[in-house]
Structure 1
Amino acid sequence: MPNVTFKGNPVTVLGNEVKVGDQAPDFTVLANDTSAVTLADSKGKVRIISVVPSVDTGTCDAQTRRFNEEAAKLGNAVVLTISVDLPFAQGRWCAANGIENVQTLSDHRELSFATAYGVHVKELRLLARSVFVIDANDKVVYVQYVPEMTEHPDYEAAIEAAKSVL
């Protein structure tokens, strides 16, 4: 498992580490209307999965906004932002911030995504900041587990990985 810290303190990350070349694991998360969403729902598209601890924090807000801007330029790609925020809170946050190109999804119920992608932070019951790019055939082409949860991911590398498989 990746070594991850939160504000400089080591945390325990649970789940299955995903690597480039893996077949993307399936998961079930909730849309803002509480309907179930799985990986298969976006089959045939390139997926950027942006994982944040909570959209209500500065770095997570900036990460979601950045991928929202990039999503508009990516053609046959979708950006999924996953956190453990409640679906209703995600919906309110998107509406208040004009987020229209990213689909926010909640893993609060079962931690299905957290377990499948190795991002469940045990001590905080949050998701570790990370980015996954999955091609249209469900192959993982990019993975970044951000070592310090309060820092930004490498946006350019993730976007380039997505563009390379469009």
Structure 2
Amino acid sequence: MQKKQIYTRNLEPLTVGNRLPNIIINDNREEEIDLHSIKKNKVYISVPSFGNHAIMKEIAKLDIIFADFEDIDFYLISNEPVYTQKRLGSGKKLKTFKFLSDFKLRNFARYTGTYIYEISSLVKSVFIVDANDEVKLVEYYDDLYSNIDVNEVTKIINELKEAAY
């Protein structure tokens, strides 16, 4: 039996109830945006690479599942340059996710505890953040090939929708 690889991540991880730190990141036009400027409920999923077939296959499935949540913004983040994300993500035909790049400033990696030293990349993780930037769910997947817990993610999204009404 093959032993699962566990990676070393940076800093203290975020926990539920924390306020998302002030994070500046690049959108798909290479323009800097402040994540605090997004005044909606949102889901951030970080991945090590858009070029990893197994991870992007999972993201494609999530794209279909999350399509029904029109009042939530979904973001897919890696620390690859924007042009690499575009090249690797162009054939994926994702409709729900917007791409964000942490390549230039590494603020997302720094402030969320998602940077993996051994592979100079982001760990696969999920953050659900409400419109006031309060963290409602945090999941870190140190085994990069673990599947995202879709049931838990959709449960928290539904709770956010109910709280809005």
Same fold (TM over 0.5): yes
Other-structure match for 1:4: none
Pairwise CA distance, 1:120: 0.5
Give the conservation status (yes or no) of the 8 Å contact 2:11–2:110. Answer: yes
**2:150 equivalent to 1:135:** no
Letter in 1 for 2:27: A
| CA–CA separation in structure 2 for the residues paired with 1:28 and 1:152 | 28
* Structure 2: segments with no counterpart, 5+ residues: none
**2:18 equivalent to 1:22:** yes
Select 1:31's aligned residue among 27, 32, 42.
27
How many residue pairs match? The answer is 159
| CA–CA separation in structure 2 for the residues paired with 1:163 and 1:59 | 27
| CA–CA separation in structure 2 for the residues paired with 1:91 and 1:41 | 23
**2:87 equivalent to 1:92:** yes
Q: Compute the TM-score of the two structures, normalised by the length of structure 1.
A: 0.87
Other-structure match for 2:145: 150
**Higher Cα radius of gyration:** 2
**2:71 equivalent to 1:76:** yes
Pairwise CA distance, 1:35: 0.6
Select 2:156's aligned residue among 157, 161, 165.
161
Q: Compute the TM-score of the two structures, normalised by the length of structure 2.
A: 0.88
Pairwise CA distance, 1:55: 1.2
Other-structure match for 1:66: 61
Give the conservation status (yes or no) of the 8 Å contact 2:9–2:113. Answer: yes
* Structure 1: segments with no counterpart, 5+ residues: 1-6
Give the conservation status (yes or no) of the 8 Å contact 1:49–1:133. Answer: yes
In percent, how many aligned pairs have the same letter? 23
| CA–CA separation in structure 2 for the residues paired with 1:115 and 1:87 | 19
Letter in 2 for 1:19: T
| CA–CA separation in structure 2 for the residues paired with 1:21 and 1:93 | 34
CA-based RMSD of the aligned residues comes to 1.6
156 and 50 in structure 1: CA distance in 2 versus 1, 3 angstrom threshold: same
Letter in 1 for 2:150: Y
139 and 31 in structure 1: CA distance in 2 versus 1, 3 angstrom threshold: same
1:53-110 Cα offsets, whole Å, 9 max, x none, are: 1111123202321332233211210001111122112223333221122111111112
